[in-house]
A = this chain, B = another copy of it.
């Protein structure tokens, strides 16, 4: 199954999908056992059902048990849909394989390839459907140049459900499913913008951009000096789990900390988060003996306009004509610096701000935030906060590349 079976396998990708079909209603376990025996050096992984993952002569091989059903709308597990996709694409793609390869590599080069939650981009199957729809790589770019949010493509003209997603590509084998459901608005238009640029001025760097080099100390110092903003980095040990479990929690954690900052008056200029698998994280205050269950370091970066706010803080209360609310509001702010006064029809007081230092706020409140099922406990096992120049202490190349990408943040838009 998969791209290898239909000639749309991107060179440099090293994954091969082998599906073992069993009749609906019977057990998947014998098929799983076949996988175990076929690849003695394997690990078992879990999606909706267990499957076997093995590394064989440099190839990442998944041996996946699935149910054979007569119609894609009657699947039991999500993987049962794959044979239908394979059959549909194989029947339509004849002669367009190279166009698919160009499109996939283009998407990969500009950073929008992959439907996994870390990327939120285009899946291989989605790329194939776009080529089938538009007819060639260039025609896909021309089509995408004109996309607007809500763009809908329905190859089988059989859509049976409304979708609120930015791009809707109705699955030709399942009228209720949007193949592009995982695509985010930003990845969609990052692609559309790059498509326009490429059509104007094509070049090989769309397909094979030079990855930014890890920043050296001096370069990192210069960027900090140039921007004169304040960077605050939250670092803690990563749980030993797959990316599709970690990344949604990571985005949620990023949003929780951002809300903590914004809710306390600290303006966040930009933030980013990543999981550096090769980094060594040692929880502060331990001797490193607990590390065994940790896997690399989670790093969440915030760039703040200012790190220190004034002591005085404005609190805007209820409308002055809501007598009960106004009374409670005033009573709950004893000895304000200024006020109460009426402004814009509302009762306002100016009081002492609780946290004037963003790092102290994060240290005091970070551990009690809602960070997700696995990241919450991971953070509570120990974390580091780096403010400003302190991030120079982190020297692993994954982090320094992450910082290089953060500072550049250049996409093919223009």
State the A residues within 8 Å of B (CB): 145, 147-149, 166, 185-186, 189-190, 192-193, 196, 226-230, 265, 269-270, 303, 305-306, 309-312, 314, 319-321, 323, 326-327, 330-331, 337-345, 347, 350, 356, 406-411, 413-414
- Docked Cα-Cα span, A305 to B314, in Å, equals 10
> A228: which B residues are within 8 A, CB to CB?
310-312, 356
Q: Mostly helix, strand, loop or mixed at chain A's interface?
A: mixed
Cβ of B414 and Cβ of A340 under 8 Å apart? yes
Cβ of B227 and Cβ of A321 under 8 Å apart? no
Cβ of B342 and Cβ of A186 under 8 Å apart? yes
- Docked Cα-Cα span, A157 to B414, in Å, equals 64
> A148: which B residues are within 8 A, CB to CB?
321
Cβ of B409 and Cβ of A320 under 8 Å apart? no
Q: Kindly identify which residue among B186, B270, B350, B407 contacts A314, using a CB–CB cutoff of 8 Å.
A: B270
Number of this chain's copies in the assembly equals: 2
Determine how close the nearest CB of chain B comes to the CB of A330; give it in whole angstroms: 4
Q: Kindly identify which residue among B226, B326, B350 contacts A413, using a CB–CB cutoff of 8 Å.
A: B326
Determine how close the nearest CB of chain B comes to the CB of A27; give it in whole angstroms: 47
Cβ of A345 and Cβ of B230 under 8 Å apart? no
Determine how close the nearest CB of chain B comes to the CB of A183; give it in whole angstroms: 13
Cβ of A185 and Cβ of B338 under 8 Å apart? no
> A320: which B residues are within 8 A, CB to CB?
189-190, 192-193, 413
Cβ of A344 and Cβ of B186 under 8 Å apart? yes
In the complex with contacts A196-B323, A306-B309, A410-B341 CB distance below 8 A: yes
- Docked Cα-Cα span, A306 to B185, in Å, equals 35
> A147: which B residues are within 8 A, CB to CB?
321
Cβ of A330 and Cβ of B186 under 8 Å apart? no
Query: What are some 23 contacts across the A-B interface (CB < 8 A)?
Result: A186-B343, A189-B319, A189-B320, A189-B342, A189-B345, A190-B342, A192-B321, A193-B326, A226-B311, A226-B337, A227-B337, A228-B311, A229-B312, A270-B314, A306-B306, A306-B309, A326-B413, A331-B414, A339-B409, A339-B411, A339-B413, A340-B414, A341-B410
